[in-house]
Amino acid sequence: MQEDITAIKEWAAIFKDPALLKKTVIRHVALHSVKIYADIADAKAEWRAGEWYKAGLSVADLLNVAIGPIKPVYPDPVPPTVYSNQYGFDAMAVPDFVAGLVFGFTGDN
Protein backbone atom coordinates (compact mmCIF):
# COMPACT_ATOMS: atom_id res chain seq x y z
CA MET A 1 0.00 0.00 0.00
CA GLN A 2 2.82 2.38 0.85
CA GLU A 3 4.33 1.81 -2.60
CA ASP A 4 1.03 2.88 -4.20
CA ILE A 5 0.90 6.07 -2.15
CA THR A 6 4.51 6.85 -3.10
CA ALA A 7 3.72 6.30 -6.80
CA ILE A 8 0.68 8.61 -6.63
CA LYS A 9 2.71 11.31 -4.86
CA GLU A 10 5.41 11.12 -7.53
CA TRP A 11 2.77 11.35 -10.29
CA ALA A 12 1.03 14.31 -8.62
CA ALA A 13 4.29 16.24 -8.18
CA ILE A 14 3.79 17.69 -11.67
CA PHE A 15 0.97 19.87 -10.25
CA LYS A 16 3.59 21.76 -8.22
CA ASP A 17 5.31 22.85 -11.44
CA PRO A 18 2.67 24.62 -13.58
CA ALA A 19 5.10 25.26 -16.46
CA LEU A 20 5.97 21.57 -16.76
CA LEU A 21 2.30 20.62 -16.39
CA LYS A 22 1.31 23.00 -19.19
CA LYS A 23 4.10 21.76 -21.45
CA THR A 24 3.18 18.11 -20.80
CA VAL A 25 -0.54 18.61 -21.40
CA ILE A 26 0.05 20.61 -24.60
CA ARG A 27 2.36 17.90 -25.94
CA HIS A 28 -0.10 15.12 -25.07
CA VAL A 29 -3.05 17.00 -26.56
CA ALA A 30 -1.07 17.40 -29.77
CA LEU A 31 -0.30 13.69 -29.83
CA HIS A 32 -3.60 12.27 -28.53
CA SER A 33 -6.21 14.96 -29.26
CA VAL A 34 -8.90 12.58 -30.50
CA LYS A 35 -8.73 10.44 -27.35
CA ILE A 36 -8.56 13.44 -25.01
CA TYR A 37 -11.53 15.22 -26.58
CA ALA A 38 -13.50 11.96 -26.60
CA ASP A 39 -12.78 11.49 -22.89
CA ILE A 40 -13.92 15.06 -22.17
CA ALA A 41 -17.16 14.53 -24.11
CA ASP A 42 -17.77 11.19 -22.40
CA ALA A 43 -17.17 12.67 -18.94
CA LYS A 44 -19.56 15.58 -19.61
CA ALA A 45 -22.30 13.27 -20.90
CA GLU A 46 -21.90 10.82 -18.02
CA TRP A 47 -21.92 13.66 -15.49
CA ARG A 48 -25.16 15.07 -16.94
CA ALA A 49 -26.71 11.58 -16.89
CA GLY A 50 -25.73 11.03 -13.25
CA GLU A 51 -23.47 8.11 -14.12
CA TRP A 52 -20.87 9.04 -11.53
CA TYR A 53 -18.80 5.86 -11.70
CA LYS A 54 -18.47 6.04 -15.48
CA ALA A 55 -17.66 9.76 -15.24
CA GLY A 56 -14.88 8.94 -12.78
CA LEU A 57 -13.47 6.34 -15.15
CA SER A 58 -13.55 8.81 -18.04
CA VAL A 59 -11.79 11.52 -16.03
CA ALA A 60 -9.18 9.01 -14.84
CA ASP A 61 -8.55 7.97 -18.44
CA LEU A 62 -8.36 11.62 -19.46
CA LEU A 63 -5.74 12.34 -16.79
CA ASN A 64 -3.84 9.21 -17.75
CA VAL A 65 -3.62 10.35 -21.37
CA ALA A 66 -3.19 14.10 -20.78
CA ILE A 67 -0.58 13.91 -18.00
CA GLY A 68 0.75 10.39 -18.17
CA PRO A 69 0.25 7.19 -16.25
CA ILE A 70 1.23 6.59 -12.67
CA LYS A 71 4.49 4.69 -12.71
CA PRO A 72 4.47 1.92 -10.11
CA VAL A 73 7.03 1.94 -7.34
CA TYR A 74 8.19 -1.55 -6.52
CA PRO A 75 9.53 -2.45 -3.11
CA ASP A 76 13.17 -3.42 -2.93
CA PRO A 77 13.23 -7.16 -2.42
CA VAL A 78 15.83 -8.43 -0.04
CA PRO A 79 17.32 -11.55 -1.59
CA PRO A 80 17.24 -14.42 0.86
CA THR A 81 20.49 -16.13 1.63
CA VAL A 82 20.85 -19.81 0.90
CA TYR A 83 20.21 -20.80 4.51
CA SER A 84 17.56 -18.18 5.25
CA ASN A 85 13.90 -18.80 5.89
CA GLN A 86 13.12 -15.13 5.38
CA TYR A 87 9.90 -15.55 3.40
CA GLY A 88 8.24 -17.91 5.85
CA PHE A 89 8.60 -21.19 3.97
CA ASP A 90 11.27 -23.73 3.27
CA ALA A 91 12.40 -24.10 -0.35
CA MET A 92 11.62 -27.81 -0.09
CA ALA A 93 7.95 -26.87 0.42
CA VAL A 94 7.71 -25.92 -3.27
CA PRO A 95 7.43 -29.53 -4.53
CA ASP A 96 4.75 -30.23 -1.92
CA PHE A 97 2.84 -27.15 -3.04
CA VAL A 98 3.06 -28.12 -6.72
CA ALA A 99 1.94 -31.68 -5.91
CA GLY A 100 -1.07 -30.33 -4.02
CA LEU A 101 -1.86 -27.95 -6.87
CA VAL A 102 -1.77 -30.73 -9.46
CA PHE A 103 -3.88 -33.00 -7.23
CA GLY A 104 -6.38 -30.18 -6.77
CA PHE A 105 -6.74 -29.81 -10.53
CA THR A 106 -6.99 -33.52 -11.25
CA GLY A 107 -8.69 -34.88 -8.15
CA ASP A 108 -8.76 -38.65 -7.66
CA ASN A 109 -8.34 -39.51 -11.35
Q: Mind listing the pLDDT tens digit for each residue in 23-60?
A: 999 999 999 999 999 999 999 999 999 999 999 999 99
Domain limits for position 54: 2-66
The three-state secondary structure class of 26 is helix
Q: Is residue 46 part of a domain?
A: yes
Looking at the structure of the chain, the number of domains it has is 1
Q: Is residue 106 part of a domain?
A: no
Q: Is residue 85 part of a domain?
A: no
State the pTM of this model.
Answer: 0.61
Closest listed residue to residue 61, CA positions, set 73, 51, 69: 69
Q: Is residue 107 part of a domain?
A: no
Q: Is residue 82 part of a domain?
A: no
Q: Who wins on pLDDT, 77 or 27?
A: 27
